[in-house]
A and B are shown apart, each in its own frame.
Chain A
């Protein structure tokens, strides 16, 4: 039986501007996976550990964040904080004997660019390889 993953993306609104283009249809037109639920946040640095874990509790097979470049965050260190929180969740997943690759951090510049779609495609591919979340009861 084919596996359609559920992936939650938390993206800062600078890196995910593409999601607004063409009345929100451009991402779809460019091949952004339909398996990804995009949650836009003012800054990834505000996304707490509990929010990332809640996404897994809510049934996500994979979670990733897209924030500004490390040396070019609109909020100076927001995306660096986000990356540290992703690293903390990776460690927690390992403690629970779960693949740490189910959560990732991606740094992308603001604006409209193909890398945003490519990151989504890569995450979709990775989660399909990993299979369903072991947290599904």
Chain B
């Protein structure tokens, strides 16, 4: 899922300081699962916006709503039900949702309530960890299913580096060296020889360095 966390309140209050009514719009997709931008978090944010504005001696009307997702045109259309009842939308979706609203609602001011952080999973309750970088050229079949792009601090393709000590990363000693884990895991499948294959210099153009990416599935398009 896409993992995110709420922006600092000072930043959000600064965004809405000139509004008299805002729609805090939750997303029931990934950000609900990572407890950053679902209906519950939107309700908390709505309250904090009211309190923050009160502290500045201002009043603001905050209404709450939610969409199934904010990353599909069909769901964005449902925003129409709140037409006329807000000056701006504060979206608790990931950056994709904010962009979709901006793309599709030319007259609507939309602000991000979250910092979209990474593609990850729930390691345990309340803890999420990055697992994938969305680099567009997956090498997991070569690395025992463990991603060196997202999980190595240096995104090394031929690791480990010389800084790995006792299975820990030199950048963050609390983080396990993913290349150590790749080594151990390949070993458990008797595939350690894969470690001896030198990965070529990587073409990062698939990773967004070549500009915004797009996928077209002609078997699914209507036109």
Answer whether residue A35 sits at the interface, using C-beta atoms and an 8 A cutoff.
no
Answer whether residue B44 sits at the interface, using C-beta atoms and an 8 A cutoff.
yes
With A49-B44, A53-B47, A57-B51 known to touch, is A137 a contact of B9 (CB < 8 Å)?
no
By a CB distance below 8 angstroms, the chain B residues around A136 are: 54
With A95-B8, A95-B9, A95-B10 known to touch, is A50 a contact of B54 (CB < 8 Å)?
no
Name the distance in Å between B55's Cβ and chain A's nearest Cβ: 5
Instruction: Report whether B55 and A97 are in contact in the complex, using a CB–CB cutoff of 8 Å.
Output: yes
Q: Mark A33-57, 1 if CB is under 8 A from B, else 0.
A: 0000000000000001110011011
By a CB distance below 8 angstroms, the chain B residues around A95 are: 8-10, 48
With A50-B43, A137-B59 known to touch, is A92 a contact of B48 (CB < 8 Å)?
yes
By a CB distance below 8 angstroms, the chain B residues around A54 are: 47
A134 closest partner in B (C-beta): B55
By a CB distance below 8 angstroms, the chain A residues around B40 are: 48, 50
Instruction: Report whether A137 and B47 are in contact in the complex, using a CB–CB cutoff of 8 Å.
Output: no
Name the distance in Å between B111's Cβ and chain A's nearest Cβ: 16
By a CB distance below 8 angstroms, the chain B residues around A57 are: 47, 50-51, 54
By a CB distance below 8 angstroms, the chain B residues around A134 are: 55
Answer whether residue B57 sits at the interface, using C-beta atoms and an 8 A cutoff.
yes
Interface residues of chain A, those whose CB is within 8 Å of chain B, are 48-50, 53-54, 56-57, 92, 95-98, 134-137
In the A-B complex, the 5 residue pairs with the smallest Cβ-Cβ separation, listed nearest first, are A95-B9, A53-B47, A135-B54, A137-B54, A50-B43
